[in-house]
Amino acid sequence: MTTSLRENLGRGGTWIRGLYMLLFAVLFNVAEIILAAVAIFQFLAQLVTGGVNRRLQAFGANLAAYLQETSAFLTYASEDKPFPIGPWPGAGDKTGAPTGPLGPGTERANPESEEGHADTESGIR
């Protein structure tokens, strides 16, 4: 074995990062399952109520950002460790979900493109 190979194999930081990578690879796969569940729920909500859940929509955006952060860490594009070591994406955003026409946290996905729905406030079809 060459000296540089021994040095590389003996670096504790590399092995620690490898353990983090294993953890985040598992969490990435769990997050993919959660993403699929969110997508299915949003589709069903659109079918049943005609609108999407805004809170779940915001969560989905944060989940997508988490998957991007995790991918960046796993591919050495970033040294920042994602959640649960780092903060959850959008954790500082405390705006909350507004109340839409279908109840708290909901609104139509694209009301302008839906034909046959009357605008309840103006009576315009």
**pLDDT tens track for 6-55:** 888 888 889 999 999 999 999 999 999 999 999 999 999 999 999 999 99
As a whole number of Å, the CA-based R_g of the chain is 22
Q: Which pLDDT value is given to residue 106?
A: 54
Query: Within a domain: residue 4?
Result: no
Query: Within a domain: residue 29?
Result: yes
Query: Within a domain: residue 33?
Result: yes
Query: Within a domain: residue 31?
Result: yes
Q: Examine the pLDDT at 113 and tell me if it is beyond 50.
A: no
Query: Within a domain: residue 3?
Result: no
Query: Within a domain: residue 122?
Result: no
Coil, strand or helix at 36: helix
Under the banding of pLDDT at 50, 70 and 90, the label for residue 108 is low
Q: What is the domain count for the chain?
A: 1
pTM: 0.70
Query: Within a domain: residue 124?
Result: no
Q: Which helix (H) or strand (E) holds 100?
A: strand 99-100
Under the banding of pLDDT at 50, 70 and 90, the label for residue 114 is very low
The mean predicted confidence, pLDDT, of the chain is 82
Domain that holds residue 28: 10-109
